[in-house]
Amino acid sequence: MLQQTTVATVGDYFRRFVERWPTVAALAAAPIDDVLSAWAGLGYYARARNLHACARTVTERHGGRFPDSEASLLALPGIGPYTAAAIRAIAFDHPASAVDGNVERVIARLFALRTPLPDAKPEIGARAAGLVPDERAGDYAQAMMDLGATVCTPRNPRCVICPLMEACKARKLNIAEQLPARAPKAEKPTRRGLAFVLANRDGAILLRKRPARGLLGGMDEVPSSPWREGKLVIKEALKDAPVPANWKVLEGGVRHTFTHFHLELAVARATATTSRLAKLAPGSAWVEIDRLTERALPTVMRKVISHAAKS
């Protein structure tokens, strides 16, 4: 959960998640839709799908216990070099080097590494690996993460209380806050589309399931036109409506930012003349308003429904 998401945001999600599924076996047995629903709002939903797949693999192939070898961990869904190293160090006390964003910052400053990220990652990784102790590797890994999170912060690092201050080359050069350097970010494109909020006579909202793979894979959504760059032509986008209806395009819209692009959605609203699913696309369902919180609705779709309700 903490990959790409802050501790402040994750806290309540984590507590609810482990209360609902306290063991690997419990998570493995859970329907994926329930897992995605519990994850809704955290973003980066591939993490939830990988976590569920990982739990199933650990249960089915490893008797419900995580392996401790690097190769076996890397073979699990969703586990890359950092996560494998963190598990080996923290769970098994193996001398593995776990380098997250906080540790990258500490190492870049400690050795005054001026090469911008991401090009600096190999050198940072090599330097970090050389510092891992043979004993208490788990304590060391967590100490380095906490050092970066609480002392060696991105802005206004608290160098005067840092236990590494005497060895830190960036502090001596007075360039700590400038490191790690980062390559300029490419400008994100903007995609646009028209979202369709369709209600039946009972007030239920039409949702459909996104494809299992890809952006927001397996999540619920209101139907929409394809998300494309360039100007949105409402007349053309209305042709992608899920059913013929008296669609009213609302004023304003919804803006949301993904990792690689911005999304701007205009919103159209209508009331269906029938609730028979036989006339709707496979994977569609009517969901009562007070049950939307039970669905795996990503944040952008919650924004869309909220915009339609306020209008």
Average pLDDT of 128-137?
95
DSSP the chain: --TTS-HHHHHHHHHHHHHH--SHHHHHHS-HHHHHHHHTTS--THHHHHHHHHHHHHHHHHTTS---SHHHHHTSTT--HHHHHHIIIIIH--------HHHHHHHHHHTT--SPBTTTHHHHHHHHHTT--SS-HHHHHHHHHHHHHHTS-SSS--GGG-TTTTT-HHHHHT-GGG-S-BPPPPPPPEEEEEEEEEE-TT-PEEEEEPPSSSTTTT-EE--B---EES---HHHHGGG-SS----EEPSS-EEEE-SS-EEEEEEEEEE-S---GGGS-TTEEEE-GGGGGGS---HHHHHHHHHHHH-
pLDDT at 78 over 70: yes
Residue 71: per-residue pLDDT: 96
Pairing of the two strands 228-229 and 248-249: unpaired
pLDDT in tens, 257-289: 998 999 999 999 998 876 444 466 777 888 888
- Region 184-207: what's the mean pLDDT? 91
What is the pLDDT, as a whole number, of residue 168?
Answer: 97
> What is the average pLDDT across 292-303?
88
Global pTM?
Answer: 0.74
pLDDT in tens, 6-33: 888 999 999 999 999 999 999 999 999 8
What number is the average pLDDT over the span 161-170? Answer: 96
Q: Which residues contact 255 (CB under 8 A, 6 or more apart)?
A: 262, 263, 264, 265
pLDDT in tens, 105-129: 999 999 999 999 999 999 999 999 9
Residue 101: its pLDDT value, please? 92
In this prediction, residue 176 carries a pLDDT of: 95
What domains are there in the chain, each with its CATH number? Answer: 94-185 (1.10.1670.10), 190-310 (3.90.79.10)
Once rounded to an integer, what is the mean pLDDT over residues 136-154?
96
Q: Is the pLDDT of residue 81 over 80?
A: yes
pLDDT over threshold 70, residue 156: yes
Give the chain's mean pLDDT.
92
pLDDT band at 3 (very low <50, low <70, confident <90, very high): confident
Specify the pLDDT at position 74.
97
